[in-house]
Amino acid sequence: MNETQLENNYKLTSKYLDVTYINNKTGTEVVALQNINLDINEGEFICIVGPSGCGKTTFLNTVAGLLKPSGGEILLDNEKVEGPGDDRAMVFQTPSLFPWRTVMDNVMFGIEIQKRVSTETKKQAQEYINMVGLNGYERHYPHELSGGMQQRVNLARALTVDPSLLLLDEPFSALDAQTREFMQKELLRIWSETQKTSIFITHQIDEAVYLADRVFVFGARPGRVVDIVDVNIPRPRDLNIKRDPVFLQLIDHIWSIIEKESTKQGFE
Ligand SMILES: Nc1ncnc2c1ncn2[C@@H]1O[C@H](COP(=O)(O)OP(=O)(O)OP(=O)(O)O)[C@@H](O)[C@H]1O
Ligand SMILES: [Mg+2]
């Protein structure tokens, strides 16, 4: 074990992380992330917010092992992330379901890839289908479901592989306002039942504060952490906490940081 891999108690650590994209044709470089240092505790719910292009997706993809750091490293359970693995599951902005597979077969997809199909894993899949509220829809096809229901299938699929880290990149952004709020509440319920460490990207500050234990605010050009905001609002959280003065203060605080960052970027 080298010096950078000394044991710590964190679930995930990002150390001096730099990610640069290089255009193979022109050779031009885009520094997407520079010197990201952060720690995430086991079971924590983290939200990342920040202006468009500040590297949120890049960070998540690096944690997922889909992108290689150009400098620094990501440690998951004290092990350096070298590539994708079964210990991490992603939920994307648009439900990436197979239209020709039923709900159950979509949920079982990750398990099939892992060659772990058994009575036990099927039972697990059914439990997660129930947990996301889709009991009775197992034999339906994606086109027979609403957008919110499709995102629930995505979530059930991610949970069924039993990852130790759940990565969510704007999973609710395609939903209407009402469905979105409902899904936020549902996600918190599911999270409190599963206790999975989660990293959730969103553009909506109120969504971030409602869901998170801590909100990481990223700034752009180059992407970096400009603030870490503790959300000391007790759980379980009802949707009406969104009208609470403490909640609104946190929103104001985060907004002012993002506004400053966006102005720097020329996004006025
Ligand atoms: N494949 C790529 N090749 C080159 N540059 C890229 C690539 N993907 C992203 N970038 C650049 O890296 C920066 C960060 O992009 P990223 O998608 O991580 O931002 P983001 O914070 O997720 O943005 P959004 O909020 O719009 O989703 C941007 O400047 C973007 O143009
Ligand atoms: Mg993104």
**Domain extents for the chain?**
1-84+208-268
Which bound ligand lies closest to the C-alpha atom of 33? 1
* Whether the Cβ atoms of residue 237 and residue 229 lie closer than 8 Å to each other: no
Q: H or E element: which one contains 80?
A: strand 79-80
d(CA 54, ligand 1 centre) in Å: 7
Give the per-residue pLDDT at 190.
Answer: 92
Q: Is the pTM of this model over 0.85?
A: yes
Residue nearest to ligand 1 atom 26, measured at CA: 52
* Whether the Cβ atoms of residue 166 and residue 203 lie closer than 8 Å to each other: no
d(CA 79, ligand 2 centre) in Å: 26
Backbone torsion region of residue 56, taken as left when φ is above 0, otherwise alpha when ψ lies between -120 and 50, otherwise beta: alpha
For residue 219, how far is the Cα from the chain centroid?
18
Give the per-residue pLDDT at 263.
Answer: 77
d(CA 169, ligand 2 centre) in Å: 7
Dig out the tokens for 86 from the structure. 């079964």
Residue 92 CB–ligand 1 contact under 6 Å: no
Residue 173 CB–ligand 1 contact under 6 Å: no
Count the neighbouring beta carbons within 10 Å of the beta carbon of residue 25.
5
What's the CA gap between 102 and 94, in Å, rounded? 17
Walk along the chain (268 residues) and give the pLDDT tens digit of each residue. Answer: 455 556 678 999 999 999 999 988 898 999 999 999 999 999 999 999 999 999 999 999 999 999 999 999 999 999 999 999 999 999 988 878 999 999 999 999 999 999 999 999 999 999 999 988 999 999 999 999 999 999 999 999 999 999 999 999 999 998 889 889 989 999 999 999 999 999 999 999 999 999 999 999 999 889 999 999 999 999 999 999 999 999 999 999 999 999 888 777 665 4
| Residue 54 CA, closest ligand 1 atom number | 21
Residue 56 CB–ligand 1 contact under 6 Å: yes
Give the per-residue pLDDT at 221.
Answer: 85
Give the per-residue pLDDT at 268.
Answer: 47
Instruction: Domain 1-84+208-268: give its CATH code.
Output: 3.40.50
Residue 21 CB–ligand 1 contact under 6 Å: yes
DSSP 8-state symbol, 223: B
Dig out the tokens for 229 from the structure. 């905001």
Q: Beta strand pairing status for 71-76 and 12-22? A: antiparallel
d(CA 90, ligand 1 centre) in Å: 17
Residue 55 CB–ligand 1 contact under 6 Å: yes
